[in-house]
Chain A
Amino acid sequence: MSKRIDVKDLNVYYGNFLAVEDVTINIEAKSVTAFIGPSGCGKSTFLRTLNRMHEVLPGARVEGEVLLDGDNLYGNGVDPVTVRSQIGMVFQRPNPFPTMSIRDNVLAGVRLNNRKISKGEADALVERSLRGANLWNEVKDRLEKPGSGLSGGQQQRLCIARAIAVEPQVILMDEPCSALDPISTLAIEDLINELKDQYTVVIVTHNMQQAARVSDKTAFFNIAGTGKPGKLIEFGNTHTIFSNPTVKATEDYVSGRFG
């Protein structure tokens, strides 16, 4: 239940502005791939193009190919909704639906698409997803309470539970821990380690220690200057990127001598 992603010569534009230039990257199935780099270098923009979420932003468009197990996401007649149901996403700030209970939040992907599901199946799905997100023990007694009453870390894990409840092939995470304290961050990182047994995980992070801790492969993005496009500088095994990078800019960034 996981697929690989191959990106070929991808350019991302906002209107006429080239935001990310010429990215080619192969993301393995059942692995954790981290994107690191300075702010504004296009990591999040690029991440969004992997499930066509950038199309929500006005003026955003791409050139190039993104292949999900060989199928081009940007091929003719591909429905972005189908893409997104296969490639889930977790955002920077936890965003549970405020009108829904914890249980309904987990079932949102099913309910909002009006798929019929029996109560027994729904209960099983809620428990499976919440266990998958390491949240079950904390919320099992208050599933009918609103999701917005949870702590920030719990809310983020609820969002992860919501994402895995639709059983995607790939999970994209856009700085999932940047709004969380270290203990909640640790809980999410443990979770990412478990998720890679079943899913392909791509994570954007500003925290290099986090990238080193959780990822198998790391991609370093950089930007030459304001107004210039972001580029993929180096992509390789996390260990290599952090201990023995081939590009000087990568070494400067991971060792903190950046700029």
Chain B
Amino acid sequence: MRRLAGALGPPMAVVGAVLLGWQLGVWSLRPPPYLVPGPVDITRAFLSDAPRLLAAMGRTGLAAAAGFGLAALAGSALGSLLAASRFLQRGVYPLASLLQMVPLVALAPLLVIWFGYGGRATVASACIVALFPVLASTLDGLRSVDPGLKEMFALYRARRAARFWKLGLPSAAPSIFTGLRVAAGLSVIGAVVGEFVSGFGGEHAPLGIVILAALRESRTDLVFAAVGLSAVVGFLLFGVVSSLAWLALRNWHPSAL
């Protein structure tokens, strides 16, 4: 409990101070609500439409989690494959790095044509942006295994599978978890951008559509509320990855001790 309070205390204090300063600024400078709403206005907008916003958050959260899960599986598998072959590494890695250079906003309309409207295009969008960090961190981790340990495994004539599962993967785990943490946040961005072009409107609207509709209606308070909820989704995914990292590394790696 003490440890949890110690971890949450500083960020909560900073967030509280920022919100207080923001609200005081709004009270004293009185900008029009369409321009900059205060935290009180944003909270009011959230409370007046909470069931719809929470349902939207659930839809976006599911799409982001699915996209992240796919990216985690595909990224770590592909990274492992590339680490095993210099030829594949040289041939595929530059192409894979294109994933982070292609502007997702330009690609997103094509995803609708390929996958149709709704969840599949959103999941694909989340997966595309989350894939590269996982792939790169997996590859980096597997290439950075201690040469002394490698020699020892070779000396004992360990098989390829044993070298991967007992040496490569544990050594690369801290690096892979770092990539997964980055990917967790990116997957939410990917999901929201995907929803901009593929999300259903009306009663089934996810956060991306809520944001677009609120922008057109000049409901800046609602935009901030929806953006805040998408950040909550990102924090939740980040928290899950961090918990898994702690469980996996707590007994031996300095980053989790």
Q: Are A and B co-members of a single complex?
A: no
Using a CB–CB distance below 8 Å, which chain B residues touch chain A? none
